[in-house]
Structure 1
Amino acid sequence: MLHFQSATFYTSINDAQDLPPCSGIEEVAFAGRSNAGKSSVINTLTHRNRLAFVSKTPGRTQQINFFKLDTGQFLVDLPGYGYAKVPYSIHQHWEKLLSSYLQTRKSLKGLILIMDIRHPLKSSDIQMLEWFAPSGRAIHILLTKADKLSKQQANITLKEVSLYLKRSACSQCSVQLFSSLSAIGVEEARFVINKWFTNN
């Protein structure tokens, strides 16, 4: 198994032309709406409280951040999307950067897509799925903040999202419950990422 706690900050980029070269080193990217808890997910998976910056103001991740594991592989924190209080020019830049990265990055093994379980499958989430699904790469959805719902309601939402995926063009997607606060689904998510990195 990967040593997720070995993750260290490697670099931040704000333009696709500055991405580290694809030299056979694999990476898994994390994407999600700006208030879905993406940074908390990365910190929880790596046992690091402030590896990825957690802010009370959504939209603070404005660059692509690379975190390197001791295996040489990368966890990649993508800019949050879908938050209305950033200027339109920044929205345009993020969209171009995300689209370029997700559709052309050869070293990308898969996408961990973060959705708040109370507000899953927003239009921007669906757009992200539609951008990435044609690549044929793996997609795994984390329904975060599962502790905010009863176990019954969380499982109902999980089934609803699973059904949507099966009926859409994203049938290769998988989905699970996750909570950074109560550690629901942490080991399951680590297992998925480890499997992506070790299956060549």
Structure 2
Amino acid sequence: MQDEQARSGRPLAGATFIASAPRAGAFPPDDRPEVAFAGRSNAGKSSALNTLCGQRKLARTSKTPGRTQAINFFAAGDGRLVDLPGYGFARVPPKVRAAWQGLVEGYLARRAGLRGVVLLMDARHPLTTFDRQLLDWGAARSLPFHVLLTKADKLGHGARTATLRDVARALPEHGVQLFSATHRIGLDEARARIEAWLEDNDCK
């Protein structure tokens, strides 16, 4: 799968890990387009990154919420993918969670190369309070979002259709789609949006 994407010239196929940054001073230079991945703890960010890039171990996956404790950067073509720590019910001390929040908000507010945010929501439990808070925070800063309703395979056809319709109606200004890493639902649509952002070299 990775070789097939690479032959087609798609940047996600050649994604490689660059750095894990527990503080802003450890971020790579802010000199190219970046796409950030955000979502509630255990929403499937790491699985989505791996599947979108056609790799099994690019991003670390874990059944323990809150495993990602820093901002992880991956090179992808001429841009970067950025895996943000999950928010919500991560099993970590409040002090640590507050530090993550400050790190993430600082990244989202100040990163000039940030072109968009892929927001992952469990299709069975979309638009949580934390999701809405992030969307509201991003709207105040004119950040574009593309929503992946993950684990869509766990819903029947009717429930999937209704969930997609309801979330799209609630977020008319953003792209919204169904997604499943295990059943490969929505891969092409998600890749197209991410790759378009990565190709946006217009410096802010």
1:99 equivalent in alignment to 2:105: yes
The partner residue of 1:6 within 4, 7, 14 is 14
1:150 corresponds, among 149, 156, 163, to 156
1:40 to 41, 44, 47: 47
Cα-to-partner distance string for 1:154-173 (whole Å, 9 max, x where unaligned): 1100111111113xxxx2x1
Q: TM-score by structure 1 length?
A: 0.92
Cα distance in 1 for residues equivalent to 2:192 and 2:42? 25
Correspondent of 2:85 among 37, 62, 79: 79
Unpaired runs of at least 5, structure 1: none
Cα deviation for residue 150 of structure 1 reads: 0.7
Q: 1:30 aligns with which of 37, 40, 47?
A: 37
Q: Partner of 2:147 in structure 1?
A: 141
Aligned partner of 2:41: which letter? Answer: S
The answer for the alignment partner of 1:65 in structure 2 is 72
Q: How many residues align?
A: 193
2:201 is aligned with 1:195: no
Cα deviation for residue 174 of structure 1 reads: 1.0
For the residues of structure 2 that align with 1:59 and 1:195, how far apart are their CA atoms? 29
Contact 2:179 2:185 in 1 (8 A): yes
Given that 2:138 and 2:144 are in contact with CA atoms closer than 8 Å, whether structure 1 keeps it comes out as: no
Inter-partner Cα distance in structure 1 for 2:90 and 2:33 = 32
Q: In structure 2, the residue corresponding to 1:135 is in which secondary structure?
A: coil
Cα distance in 2, alignment partners of residues 2 and 80 from structure 1? 27
Gaps of at least 5 residues in structure 2 are 1-8
SS in 2 for 1:47: coil
51, 60, 83: which one aligns with 2:58: 51
Q: Which moved further from structure 2: 37-46 or 189-198?
A: 189-198
% identity of equivalent residues: 48
| Paired residue type of 1:179 | S
Shift of 1:197: 2.2
- The Cα RMSD (Å) is 1.2
Q: Please say if residues 43 and 51 of structure 1, whose CA atoms lie closer than 8 Å, have aligned partners that are also in contact.
A: yes
1:2: how far off?
2.6
TM-score computed with the length of structure 2 as normaliser: 0.91
Question: Match of 1:46, as an amino acid?
Answer: C
Give how far 1:136 is off.
1.7
Which of 144, 159, 169 is the matching residue for 2:165?
159
